[in-house]
Structure 1
């Protein structure tokens, strides 16, 4: 029996194979490249991607800085002193990217200045490419440089920074500025979103692209910052804990409660928290000197992209774009009235 099956199978297989080889194939044959050319192109694209990501991160931090520096009264428990610089060293990058990165920055294990935020204390004193050698005459250890710098800035006093610039050793005196210590992080997600966890402010790459104007980007940063300053994360946790306690009481009395009360507690007042963060964020924006005129249109643009949000807020935990736009429009009118009166 097996012999007969094999005898039938082999001709069928051969005929099928011949049929496949007779199928249409691409007429234009792509070029073949050797490993050297492929590696060179890979490095080229890696550098381009790095520079784009840096520009996006810089834009995010530039938009956030005025909010963090102008609203320190709102973050008394979360403050630090800053120079307004981004630093990097070769060990910060994946091994596969290091050769390309080194060619771009002449980077090694020492801390080097990558970017300087506009109007920061470092602007006009430090330059991109400067290599940090010492802080207050204490040599910087490459693997401990960031912690050394943070320790030197802790009390807000001016520091003497020894740097190497184009082969010349310089000593620069800089007075740091007080900021809210909420790290602003760029997420690679393409979703249009921002969120806060009580300590950090996270903005997605999708939101960064959607918010074409810097004051729109700052609007969302301010909203998330307000969640932190108002301790909304802590309040939600307390509500969730209260719900969990209720679940425990129900279960102990023989009433099934599969974390229902916990879920209700976690989302209790969530829409109210979002509206409060919108309003508080608007005040943070105004304190930072941003033009708040017309920012209510941000939510109308959002509605154009996500029509569902016109009648249903995101995950039912957020207000609709209709309510957010109208609330923001009214709040902007109220905040602009004192400005109008003062110019008369």
Structure 2
């Protein structure tokens, strides 16, 4: 639905081994994230809650692990959305709830202790101008589309890459000017896709998770396990890395080397667990989460092409947890 400081991009399904893109598997016990029978306001609030959780976890993962990433970017730590991305049913609700206006980026969430938070930005703020240049409103006459928001996000990203930036921000009936000093993070954004499928994927640029999968991972440490696995695919460059904004920098000496294509799922599990540990999440929950999910979803319970069974993956994560514990006890850096 929205993204963290980056424009959405399509991709092949990579894998937590959940479900193929063409599959649709209801959540256990009927606990889907969204329901067509819900009133528009309730559906919007359900999406907003998931977006905020994913954005907060993603910000922690990408800022805590920057030294391991070959590709980095300047970020604000906000989650953006726009009125024109919403369906006809949800658009008026979103406009009233968040003060949205066309394609102009509205702030849906601000990560704790992020540049956006330090600049005094908050959910409900609307970004009008960046460095004195208007952000495009669009006319909103066509079907729902992310394109206008994506174009504005690119402009913001380019400005942040030169940071600090000056922003004209509307809150209610008041417009004010703030200065934001971006920080660096791994060059991956996070996006929730409304869907009743169990799905998570990465494409070298972003991490995508279905609303049903995000809702199933009700604990943030479990959600971090999913997002960390997908982020590890990007960190290990299992897909082409994102195009740099401006001249490409040399790959930092601390970055992890490019991963092996043939062992990418196993490596993403292991490296993803290290990403969680470095960001302060509870890695001990990960094996149990995989076992629970395997019990609820046969596609994960048994080995599939490219993926071990949930039980085999859980045992490998237990071994990785033992590695992490030993390194902590020895005072060694948590480097996979």
What TM-score does the superposition give when structure 2 sets the normalisation length? Answer: 0.69
Report the counterpart of residue 190 of structure 2 in structure 1: 184
Report the counterpart of residue 75 of structure 1 in structure 2: 69
> 1:96: how far off?
4.4
CA contact (8 A) 2:47 2:211 kept: no
> 1:62: how far off?
1.3
From the superposition, tell whether residues 175 and 220 of structure 1 become closer, same or farther in structure 2 (CA, over 3 Å): same
Give secondary structure in 2 for the equivalent of 1:224: helix
Report the counterpart of residue 153 of structure 1 in structure 2: 160
Q: Distance in 2 between matches of 1:205 and 1:88?
A: 16
From the superposition, tell whether residues 301 and 96 of structure 1 become closer, same or farther in structure 2 (CA, over 3 Å): closer
Gaps of 5+ in 1: 1-41, 235-267
Following superposition of structure 1 onto structure 2, how do residues 107-186 of structure 1 map, counting pairs within 5 Å?
A: 107-109=100-102, 110-124=104-118, 125-143=120-138, 145-155=152-162, 157-186=163-192
Equivalent in 12, 30, 46 of residue 40 of structure 2: 46
Equivalent in 281, 291, 298 of residue 289 of structure 2: 298
RMSD of aligned Cα (Å) = 2.8
Report the counterpart of residue 94 of structure 2 in structure 1: 101
Gaps of 5+ in 2: 1-35, 139-150, 241-259, 332-336
CA contact (8 A) 1:219 1:281 kept: yes
Larger RCO (alpha carbons 8 Å, 6+ apart): 2
CA contact (8 A) 2:63 2:185 kept: yes
Q: Distance in 2 between matches of 1:55 and 1:299?
A: 23
What TM-score does the superposition give when structure 1 sets the normalisation length? Answer: 0.68
CA contact (8 A) 1:43 1:97 kept: no
CA contact (8 A) 1:71 1:180 kept: yes
Q: Distance in 1 between matches of 2:174 and 2:266?
A: 53
> 1:289: how far off?
1.9
Q: Distance in 2 between matches of 1:279 and 1:71?
A: 14
Q: Distance in 2 between matches of 1:121 and 1:333?
A: 35
Report the counterpart of residue 196 of structure 1 in structure 2: 202
Greater helix proportion: 1
Give secondary structure in 2 for the equivalent of 1:127: coil
